[in-house]
Amino acid sequence: MLASLSIRDVVLIERLDLTFGPGLSVLTGETGAGKSILLDSLGLALGQRAEAGMVRSGQSQAGVVAVFTPPASHPAHALMAEQGIEADDQIVLRRIVTADGRSRAFVNDEPVGVALLRRLGALLVEVQGQHDQVGLADPATHSGLLDAFGALEPRRNAVAEAYRAWRGAERALKEAREAIAAAQRDEEWLRHAVQELADLSPQEGEEDALASERQGLQGSERRAEAIASALSEIQPRDRRGGGAPAAALRNAARALERLTPPSEEATAALTALAAAQDALAEAENVLERLASDAQPDPRRLETVEERLFALRAAARKYTVAVVDLPAHLGSLRERLSNLDAGTGRVAALDAAAGQARAAYVAAAGALTAARREHADKLEKAVSKELAPLKLDRARLHIEIVPREESAWGPDGQDRVTFLVTTNPGQKPGQLAKIASGGELSRLMLALKVVLARGSPVPTLVFDEVDSGIGGATAAAVGERLARVAERLQVLVVTHSPQVAARGARHFQVAKGVRGDRAETRVVPLDVPARREEIARMLAGERVTEAARAAADELLAGAA
């Protein structure tokens, strides 16, 4: 329901903060006091059109904040979640209008487009006014209202489920046909690609393994080259052993041995040369052993590189990563398999789609039959409410007509429209076109009395629903507003004391002058002030004791 409404600098309202509760709230005041400004302000918060003229003279902007407290199951929460807006116990709609006519909208302090604000507003408030009718006047809501009246939600849900299953089967059939058509266009290429990749036979993780092995083989090759180079430095460079360090050491030793007798220094040199020859021989043995162990397989490196380069070339050709080649081969095989087995699969999907359509048609037909049955009951129930509202000649007609198959939907195969006649012999027409403003508001009230249980909108606003009536008819309007308010929150702008006496809360709208500027004020009335206001509505400008006594009688009768 609407919990509060805050208005800043809208036309004649400088600052206004109102709180509302459940049940029936009435707003009264003299003509021109500014009651329409309140409704226009609420309309701003609900996403209605903004105009520069709404900004109070001399101010740069106007602002309206409407706070709602719908139940957790209310569809407004789902819409907010769909839009990525966090929701809590409250839904806060805020609208700012600048003096140049531009506006900004916010939901729970998140900036949004006015279209979303309007969608949320339509879920939270329904306005029935003298000129602007929304909610019941919108034919798009009529099938849901009829279903709610007849408790047909299980049938409607079954239709929606059957519709989703049918459309899902149709999509699967369409996709299969498109896949086969595409595969047939590419059949020659597809068979070549499958054969080429099958011959290549890429394996999971193969690229990493080959790259690692290649790196290792390349390292082994460099190691073998280094060992061979070291050996070449210490081994003979010709057949006679010339150029080798070992030969040079032996020649040096023989030269020293020819000394007779060798000197002490020569003996030490011979000992060192002998040790050098032993160390050199040991180094040669070690290097030869290492050379034997490190000798790489030259063909293996070549084989690894050829395989790695072939995999990468295939990946480039088919524009996938090497790691995805096995999956790509599987996908191509599946496409080829679908092509080979496509006719049978399409036939099966076609049959499934036909069965799903038949199930939807059966469920929708049952819903249509139930709607026709309950449409008659709804017409009779509304007719009982019309006579006391001075609409005894009016009749509600519920039209249920089949739609073209292209227009079938989750709500069924037919179009439900509420039509009305206000005089005998008149052709039924749409609610918003056939009745006058006051008649239309009372028609809406009669419908709401009957349909309140199924209404998803928690707050109703009636603007002068009592226009042009009085006495017993006005009392009947007030009694029905009170009945609707037992289930929904109702706000009504009224000039009727009989309606005002029914309110659980009463607000007086008055226009005064502060300084040199006109200003609209709204005052919640306590019991004595409320008695005085109803007496004013009964007596006019001069309130008499008789009017006060009549006000007491109205209040007592409404209690």
- pLDDT 10s digits, 412-466: 999 999 888 887 778 888 776 766 666 777 787 888 888 876 677 889 888 877 7
Say what the pLDDT of residue 51 is: 87
- Token digits for 155? 């049938």
CB 476 within 8 A of CB 495: no
In a domain, 435, yes or no: no
Mean predicted confidence (pLDDT) in 333-360 = 85
Residues 472 and 559 in one domain: no
Q: Are residues 484 and 515 in the same domain?
A: yes
CATH assignment of the domain containing 492: 3.40.50.300
Task: Clarify whether residues 108 and 61 are in a common domain.
Answer: yes
CB atoms inside a 10 Å sphere around CB 44: 29
The predicted pLDDT at position 470 comes to 75
Burial of 262 per CB tally in 10 Å (0-12, 13-18, 19+): middle
Identify the H or E element spanning 125.
Answer: strand 125-128
Do 13 and 109 share a structural domain?
Answer: yes
Q: Is residue 271 part of a domain?
A: no
Q: Is 60 exceeded by the pLDDT of residue 239?
A: no
**pTM of the shown model:** 0.63
| Edge-to-edge strands, sheet with 429-430 | 395-402, 414-421, 429-430
- Contact between 533 and 508 under an 8 Å Cβ cutoff? The reply is yes
Question: Considering its fold, how many domains does the chain have in total?
Answer: 2
DSSP for 381-423, please give it: HHHHHHGGGT-TT-EEEEEEEEPPGGG-BTTBSEEEEEEEESS
Unique residue bearing structure tokens 């903060």: 17
On whether both 116 and 79 belong to a single domain, the answer is yes
Looking at the chain, the whole-number percentage of residues with pLDDT higher than 90 is 33
Give a yes or no: residue 332 inside a domain. Answer: no
Write the CB contacts of 38 (distance below 8 Å, at least 6 apart in sequence). Answer: 5, 7, 13, 27, 493, 509, 522
- Residue whose C-alpha is closest to residue 464's, from 63, 9, 33, 12: 33
Query: Of residues 303 and 501, which shows the higher confidence score?
Result: 501
Q: Which two tokens stand for residue 282?
A: 């040991």
22, part of any domain: yes
Q: Would you state the structure tokens that stand for residue 283, as one six-digit string?
A: 């180094």
Which domain range does residue 58 map to?
A: 1-135+457-524
- Res. 131 pLDDT band, cuts 50 70 90: very low
Query: Do residues 533 and 489 both lie within one domain?
Result: no
Give how far Cα 412 sits from Cα of 147, 157, 419, 504, Å.
Answer: 11, 10, 20, 41
The CA-atom distances, in angstroms, between 309 and each of 287, 306, 318 are: 35, 5, 14
Identify the three-state secondary structure at position 302: helix
The torsion defined by the Cα of 125, 129, 135 and 137, in degrees rounded to 10, comes to 180
Residues 1 and 71 in one domain: yes
* 400 vs 330: CA distance, rounded Å: 53
Q: Is the pLDDT of residue 515 over 80?
A: no
Mean per-residue pLDDT for 187-201? Answer: 87
Whether 34 and 128 map to the same domain: the answer is: yes
**What is the side-by-side order of every strand in the sheet holding 505-514?**
125-128, 459-463, 489-493, 24-28, 505-514, 517-524
Would residue 547 count as lying in a domain?
A: yes
Tens digits of residue pLDDT in 94-119: 999 999 989 999 999 999 999 999 99
Q: Is the pLDDT of residue 292 over 70?
A: no
Average pLDDT, the chain: 84
Same-domain check for residues 461 and 557:
no
Task: For residues 476 and 557, state if they share a domain.
Answer: no
Alpha helices in 186-263 (DSSP H): 187-200, 206-234, 245-257
β-strand 125-128 against 459-463: which pairing, if any? parallel
More confident residue, 458 or 281: 458
Q: Is there a single domain that holds both residue 543 and residue 510?
A: no
Instruction: Please report whether residue 291 resides in a domain.
Output: no
pLDDT band, residue 257 (cuts 50/70/90): confident
Domain-embedded: residue 292 = no
Give the DSSP letter of residue 323: G
Q: Is the pLDDT of residue 312 over 80?
A: yes
- Tens of pLDDT, residue by residue over 147-184, are 888 889 899 999 999 999 999 999 999 988 887 787 77
Give domain status of residue 160, yes or no: no
What pLDDT score does 112 carry? 93
- Answer yes or no: do 128 and 47 share one domain: yes
For residue 181, the model assigns a pLDDT of 80
Whether pLDDT at 241 is above 60: no
* pLDDT tens digit sequence for 3-49: 999 999 998 898 999 999 999 999 998 877 788 888 889 999 999 88
* Of residues 132, 145, 8, 128, the one with CA closest to residue 66: 8
Which residue is it, tokens 């430095």? Answer: 233
Q: Give the HSE-up count for residue 458: Cα atoms under 13 Å, Cβ half-sphere.
A: 18
Residues 373-409: pLDDT tens digits? 999 999 998 888 888 888 888 888 999 999 999 999 9
